[in-house]
Structure 1
Amino acid sequence: MLNNDRLLVQILLLGLLGASLWVLAPFWSALFWAGVLAFASWPLMRVLSGLLNGRESMAAALLTAGWVLLVALPLAWLVSNLAEHIRDATELVKSVQLQGLPAAPDWLRQIPLVGERLVRLWQTVDAQGGAFFAGLKPYMGEAGNWLLARSAQVGGGLVELVLSLVLVFFFYRDGPRMAMFAERALERLIGDRAEHYLELVAGTVQRVVNGVIGTAAAQALLALIGFWIAGIPGALVLGIVTFAFSLIPMGPPLVWVPATAWLVWHGDYGYAVFLGIWGMFVISGVDNVLKPYLISRGGNLPLVVVLLGVFGGILAFGFMGLFLGPTLLAVAYSLISDWIDQPVPKLPEQASIEEEPRPS
């Protein structure tokens, strides 16, 4: 017979939990990023707290201030520099409308199948610059609307970033208590293996964060070297932009492809070919090698599980899936592995047969 009082309490608790999740729903993304940031940098928090004789609030405040300086100031500097480059791009479009294009390069005609067509297109733009850009106005309007929508998303992302930097202070300060609460709750669910799975999740998230940030830093450094060799102006700014774009799938080509086009526009065809090859095989290619290696290093996960977790997580959850995907697959893989490794319990009939003495 069901206990009505206990059932009523369970329903009320579930309703309270659902209402709490509903209240927190607008802040899930900021909470997630604050948690990931605090989790990945927790060794720094422990070191700083030890240097300050256990004053966790002071250590959390200093570490949060450091993140603000590392993230907010470079972001503001980057936005101001991008505004200047946008003005330069606008002036370039105006000069094309007034003065036309330079002579088509010889190598453009030699491209198989489409070389002559590209040269004719080049000459058409050169001869009818104003009319050509006038015909592009409807498409430019659609592109402007798309950019406006993306700008709104970027603005929302900046608000979430600021909120994350505020929340990360509380994650630092109350981190041990949160970890104890999560461990006790998990013990109520799965028993003694709770600590093992918490360590598994912690290690997976930390490796994913290190893999993502490490790969982005490597791509930014390689992009900076390529831009510097090719003589691209504002190479340092473009390197920082590459770091930011490396955090999203297929982001770096949005930086080195326009830089290659700029070299073609100025007639530096040799450097344009160099930067195109460098961007395709070095800047973008390192993402396919370094990120899976850094994520799988130090763990017992097969590389294919990491790859499926990274790419499948992005397709399923967006950018947050970059962290959720490998973590979910890691936990599932560990659960199945532990279940397989457990000895199979013997049936009562088998146990009685084994215990019966054999006739001599």
Structure 2
Amino acid sequence: MNPIDPEIARRLASIFLDVLIRAALVLAMVMLCYRIFAPFLTMMAWALILAVTLFPLHQSIASRLGGRQGLAAILLVLLVIALIAAPTAILVMSIGDSVHSFITGLQTNTIVIPPPREAVRNWPLIGTQAYAFWSQAHSDLPALVHNMQPKIGELARGALGVVAGLGGEMLKFPISFIIAGIIMAFGHAGSRSINAIFRRIAGDARGSALTKLSTATVRAVALGVVGVAFIQALLIGLCLIVAGVPLPGVLALIVLILGIAQVPALVVSLPAIAWIWSRGEYSSTLAIAYTVLLLVAGMADNVLKPMLLGRGVDAPMPIILLGALGGMASGGILGMFVGATLFALGYQIFMLWVSEADPNMPLREGIPPAPP
């Protein structure tokens, strides 16, 4: 085996050291930039998703205004904030009022618990304990609250923390829309930049195709899944507030999560209708009117999905649900939207990469194969 020439070894070591130093400097720069940008990451991601989703509507408005991109962005942002942010604020305040009323009811002993049915005893595993707990809550709620006071205090503080977190997220909501408006005003330049980034990473042909795939996935998930669930939750929440049903904000949040999981909203609206009829406090006309409103709101997804979803989301519903719940756990309400969209997009790109290694798996439509 011939020894390596010392001069060649010295040059290789010098080149390798230069590469390591440059890589370390680039990594340090990336980490510093991330630390600076991290507080705004969720908000900027949400603004970008909004901009991509609403850009076709923005272009339609701009064409009617003689191509004035800035004016179209301002009008669209004001319209969206008026139609979405205001009802959302009402529902968040409703959640806060519900938590406050519940805590006040516990403190003043004004909460009335109905007696348990005998069938509760027959529940598997927990029937006896559930019946005893329920009976004590019915007969002597103050004593039960006193025995569980430490746990109830922790739950109350946690609930108030959630409400405070929702209020903080609401402050980010209009800011994200404003940033999305700025992005849409310069949408064509931004589109060229994103396309150049994808082409730099994946090549000319595949980069352009991945740009279209990313845009289509963001719009499909944001509009067809999360958007539909959000609009339906707003409609049902407002109907519950008008009808005077307890905990309208909490029920609307449940509708939102169920809608993302593709569970019909009638799971919430039908019990609310039953509650209205069982109370006996409404006239027949009002009860019928509230029933119609809740039924229409509960089935609104059947109309909204064909309008907003288009050709469908090319990602399984568990992927979208996991992304939404994980995003909500890490980033609140805005994180729910960001998580569902980014997780679905990541699934698309990952499955594209897998399909390249398996000749029996068809490639995504419009994505050319990788060069040999």
With structure 1 as the length reference, what TM-score do the two structures score? Answer: 0.68
Does 1 or 2 have the higher relative contact order (CA < 8 Å, sep 6+)?
Answer: 2
Residue 131 of structure 2 corresponds to residue 113 of structure 1: no
Residue 178 of structure 2 corresponds to residue 160 of structure 1: no
Aligned to 1:233: 244
User: What is the letter of the counterpart of residue 325 of structure 1?
Assistant: F
Residue 310 of structure 2 corresponds to residue 321 of structure 1: no
Aligned to 1:55: 68
Pick one of 231, 236, 249 that aligns with 1:217.
Answer: 231
Judging changes above 3 Å, is the alpha-carbon distance between structure 1 residues 290 and 212 closer, same or farther for their aligned structure 2 residues?
farther
Give the length in aligned residue pairs.
318
Matches within 5 A, 1:292-311: 298=311, 301=314, 305-311=315-321
Aligned to 1:46: 59
Q: Give the distance between the partners of 1:166 and 1:345, measured in 2 at CA.
A: 41
Aligned to 1:170: 182
Pick one of 345, 352, 357 that aligns with 1:334.
Answer: 352
Equivalent residues of 1:310, 1:325 under 8 A apart: yes
Matches within 5 A, 1:69-148: 69-86=82-99, 88-89=101-102, 92-93=105-106, 97=109, 104=115, 108-111=117-120, 113-114=122-123, 121-148=133-160
Q: Which region of structure 1 is more displaced relative to structure 2, 211-220 or 328-337? A: 211-220
Aligned to 1:353: none
Judging changes above 3 Å, is the alpha-carbon distance between structure 1 residues 87 and 66 closer, same or farther for their aligned structure 2 residues?
same
Deviation at 1:187, TM superposition (A): 1.5
Residue 161 of structure 2 corresponds to residue 149 of structure 1: yes
Aligned to 1:184: 196
Q: Which of structures 1 and 2 has the bigger CA Rg?
A: 1
CA displacement 1:263-310 (0-9 Å, x = unmatched) = 59x878xxxxxxxxx9xxx99x99xx9999999862684xxx423532
Equivalent residues of 1:216, 1:243 under 8 A apart: no
Structure 1 unaligned regions, length at least 5: 269-277, 347-360
Equivalent residues of 1:35, 1:168 under 8 A apart: yes
Residue 80 of structure 2 corresponds to residue 67 of structure 1: yes
Q: Give the distance between the partners of 2:121 and 2:233, measured in 1 at CA.
A: 32
Q: Give the distance between the partners of 1:29 and 1:206, measured in 2 at CA.
A: 18
User: What is the letter of the counterpart of residue 228 of structure 2?
Assistant: G
Aligned to 2:284: none
Equivalent residues of 2:255, 2:268 under 8 A apart: no
Structure 2 unaligned regions, length at least 5: 1-10, 281-290, 330-335
CA displacement 1:231-280 (0-9 Å, x = unmatched) = 96248x82x66454444469999x959x77x959x878xxxxxxxxx9xx
Deviation at 1:65, TM superposition (A): 1.6
With structure 2 as the length reference, what TM-score do the two structures score? Answer: 0.66
Deviation at 1:116, TM superposition (A): 7.5
User: What is the letter of the counterpart of residue 188 of structure 2?
Assistant: P
Calculate the aligned-residue CA RMSD, in Å: 4.7
Q: Give the distance between the partners of 1:315 and 1:300, measured in 2 at CA.
A: 18
Judging changes above 3 Å, is the alpha-carbon distance between structure 1 residues 336 and 291 closer, same or farther for their aligned structure 2 residues?
farther
Q: Percent identity?
A: 20
Equivalent residues of 1:216, 1:247 under 8 A apart: yes
Q: Give the distance between the partners of 1:293 and 1:43, measured in 2 at CA.
A: 17
